[in-house]
Structure 1
Amino acid sequence: DYVLRLQLRHMGRGNSGVLLRMTGPDKVWPRSIEAQGQFHSMGDIWNIDEFPMKVDPDRTRGRHTVKLHPTNEKDVGGWNEYEIYLNKGDLRIYVNGLLQNVGTDCWHTPGKICLQSEGSPTEFRNIILLPIKN
């Protein structure tokens, strides 16, 4: 259970993300929750490999749950703040201080945190992981 804070910026209109509670074999798209980092899609959630969790069905198509509000990202080259709370089964994703997505009943299992980038360079900095005391 933790709060993950980081900054990321896109150097082009590529794709990136933060995989949470990654479990199972090391493979492309391991079982996890992805806090989407794709340009203009930060705050979306991707459920990868049927990770057990609940999201708003009205904003979900298949494995993809769109964010709550219009994009509030900075343009290419600007630094964005990502703050992700994952406490037991509750997930909250903030982009530049605005709550953009929530999940509940997330599988409470230990797992890795993975940073992902494809299509064009994405830079990450100021990565801080803080435990949540329950």
Structure 2
Amino acid sequence: MLLSLPSLVLASSLALAAPPDSSEGWTPLFNGKDLTGWYTFLQQHGRDADPDKIITIEDGTIHLYKGVPDKTKVLMGYIGTEKEYGDYHLRLQYRWGTTKFEPRYALKKDAGLYYHITGPDAVWPRSLQYQIEETNVGDLIALFGMQLDTTIDPRTRDAKSPDYPTFLPADKGGEPRVLGLKGIDYQHRLAEVAERDGWNDVEIIAKGAEVTHLLNGRVVNRGVAVRFDDPAKPGSPVPLTKGRIALEIEAAELWFRNVEIRPAP
């Protein structure tokens, strides 16, 4: 399912547009005091059970793995919204802590923002993901049957793990690509936008079946015609425009704050 050339050009022009005005219309998803409107899902413990106190609410932030000694073996999971959301502009801030843990101690610090979750809770869920990983913040990941159309730098089309095809708008020379189907499929973000020390700004615009990733105010990834094609019975993709949202917990100390949402522009 590839877009026509006019659709791809339109998508690329939208991807390069300035982000919408951020002065008003925002509603907090996280109230800064507790997880009202959210639930937790952790390995081994399942839903709404955190006996290891992986999640701490403090000073208006969500602090992951507070006080856990470096290299400790930990559980992973996410904090998900009770409701589904569609046609929205979502933003939040994150910053890294100093510690990371097994089973990912030898890897880069990692977390993420899941969205369009429509299946059962699992580690990890069927969804799209805004990757929050050192040097790869803004990567677009399609998990377990999720698909979308995008454009990539043709020089990266055949890249293999740990490298992946890299997003490039069509009007900058990007060529069509279908991201996703079975398993987990990755697409790198535009590397020209840097992750900052300290707090970073993450945004997702999900409008209809289109999704856009922004990092620190600049577009870094984009896809259109979001759909789900059941890997067990492929060939009948269903458009997907909404789902639950979740903050990923993946064996690195991290703070989230200012999790807000408003209607898509």
* TM-score (structure 2 length as normaliser): 0.46
- Counterpart of 1:3 in structure 2: which amino acid? H
In 2, are the aligned partners of 1:2 and 1:129 still within 8 Å (CA)? yes
Q: Aligned pairs, how many?
A: 131
In 1, are the aligned partners of 2:209 and 2:241 still within 8 Å (CA)? no
Rounded Cα–Cα distance in structure 1 between residues aligned with 2:250 and 2:264: 31
RMSD (Å) for aligned C-alpha atoms:
1.9
Cross-structure match for 1:41: 136
Cross-structure match for 2:186: 64
Cross-structure match for 1:102: 222
- Counterpart of 1:4 in structure 2: which amino acid? L
Q: State the Cα deviation string for residues 53-107 of structure 1 (Å, max 9, x = none).
A: 12335426871100023351013xx000011101011111110011110011113
Rounded Cα–Cα distance in structure 1 between residues aligned with 2:136 and 2:250: 14
In 2, are the aligned partners of 1:21 and 1:113 still within 8 Å (CA)? yes
Q: Point out the structure with the larger strand share.
A: 1
Cross-structure match for 1:11: 97
In 2, are the aligned partners of 1:55 and 1:65 still within 8 Å (CA)? no
Cross-structure match for 2:209: 89
SS at match of 1:73: coil
**Aligned partner (choices 20, 36, 48) of residue 115 of structure 2:** 20
* TM-score (structure 1 length as normaliser): 0.88
The within-5 A match list for 1:113-124 is 113-124=245-256
Rounded Cα–Cα distance in structure 1 between residues aligned with 2:251 and 2:119: 25
Cross-structure match for 2:34: none
Aligned residues: percent identity?
A: 33
| 1:80 is the counterpart of 2:190 | no
Q: State the Cα deviation string for residues 104-129 of structure 1 (Å, max 9, x = none).
A: 11132431000002121111101111
In 1, are the aligned partners of 2:193 and 2:218 still within 8 Å (CA)? no
Q: Structure 2: 5+ residue runs without aligned partners?
A: 1-86, 99-107, 158-164, 167-178, 228-239
**Aligned partner (choices 141, 148, 152) of residue 53 of structure 1:** 148
In 2, are the aligned partners of 1:42 and 1:71 still within 8 Å (CA)? no
Aligned-residue offset at 1:26? 0.7
Cross-structure match for 2:244: 112
